[in-house]
């Protein structure tokens, strides 16, 4: 993933890395600070039923922070790319970009758009699509080819204004998960990830990735 965003002009001052376990000892091995967490999980019948119930329950929820950058997913297997965009777009104050960064340019061009307009703009963005496809050809699990049938999905967790948000391009809006802070963000996001895992206890196809400040 670091290579993917590097190809799009993000400087490697922050790095994506696997979270190898959920207990405090293993979480303590994750470099800090962490500004985003990505969760790869299986899309099962249980999850789809929960997703539908959640949307119905939250459709009248209070307005989320206007500072959140949210983009809908309209391209089949672009969830990895959407997750990366969500992670990067909501942490631009921390991250650094090359002067000619296609990703930074995309974020600037879409900053005032609606989530649906951003999705349409992404469909036509050749630089991001080409990078996605080249990553897929290298066999990276986070970037399957856009026409391949998969049942795994990426979502992002970010801290915006001291609140933990789940950003999923398949959902109609960001999901708020309560307050968080820079110091507790990883642990707070992991608690939400545990809920996903508990929903499908027979499943083992879960991967958690943290975007951490490079300590070297």
Q: Summarize pLDDT for 170-210 with one digit per residue, the tens.
A: 999 999 999 999 999 999 999 999 999 999 999 999 999 99
CATH number of 2-213: 3.40.532.10
Q: Residue 147 — pLDDT band, cuts 50, 70, 90?
A: very low
Sequence ranges of the domains in the chain: 2-213
Give the 3-state secondary structure of residue 166. strand
Question: 175-179 and 152-160 as β-strands: parallel, antiparallel, unpaired?
Answer: unpaired
Active centre residues (catalytic): 79, 153
CB 170 within 8 A of CB 115: no
Residue 46 pLDDT exceeds 50: yes
Residue 61: pLDDT band (50, 70, 90) is confident
Cα dist from 108 to 58, 112, 128, 142, 159, whole Å: 30, 8, 14, 24, 20
Q: Write down the residue that tokens 């119930």 correspond to.
A: 53
pTM above 0.75, yes or no: yes
Q: Model confidence at 141, in pLDDT bands (50, 70, 90)?
A: very low
């Amino acid at each position: 993933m670091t290579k993917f965003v590097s190809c799009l002009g993000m400087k490697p001052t922050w790095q994506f890395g696997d979270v190898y376990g959920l207990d405090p000892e293993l979480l303590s091995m994750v470099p800090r600070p962490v500004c985003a967490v990505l969760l790869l999980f299986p899309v099962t019948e249980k999850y789809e039923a929960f997703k539908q119930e959640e949307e119905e329950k939250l459709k009248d929820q209070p307005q989320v922070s206007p500072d959140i950058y949210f983009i809908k997913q309209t391209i089949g297997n672009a969830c990895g790319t959407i997750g990366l965009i969500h992670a990067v777009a909501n942490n631009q104050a921390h991250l650094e970009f090359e002067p000619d960064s296609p990703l930074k340019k995309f974020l600037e061009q879409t900053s005032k758009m609606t989530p649906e307009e951003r999705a349409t703009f992404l469909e036509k963005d050749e630089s991001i699509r080409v990078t996605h496809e080249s990553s897929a050809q290298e066999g990276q699990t986070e970037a399957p080819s856009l026409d391949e049938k998969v049942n795994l999905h990426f979502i992002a967790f970010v801290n915006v204004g001291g609140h933990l948000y789940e950003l999923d391009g398949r959902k109609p809006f960001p999901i708020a998960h309560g307050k968080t802070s820079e110091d507790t963000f990883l642990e707070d996001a992991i608690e939400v990830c545990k809920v996903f895992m508990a929903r499908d206890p027979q499943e083992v196809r879960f991967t958690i990735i943290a975007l951490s400040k490079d300590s070297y």
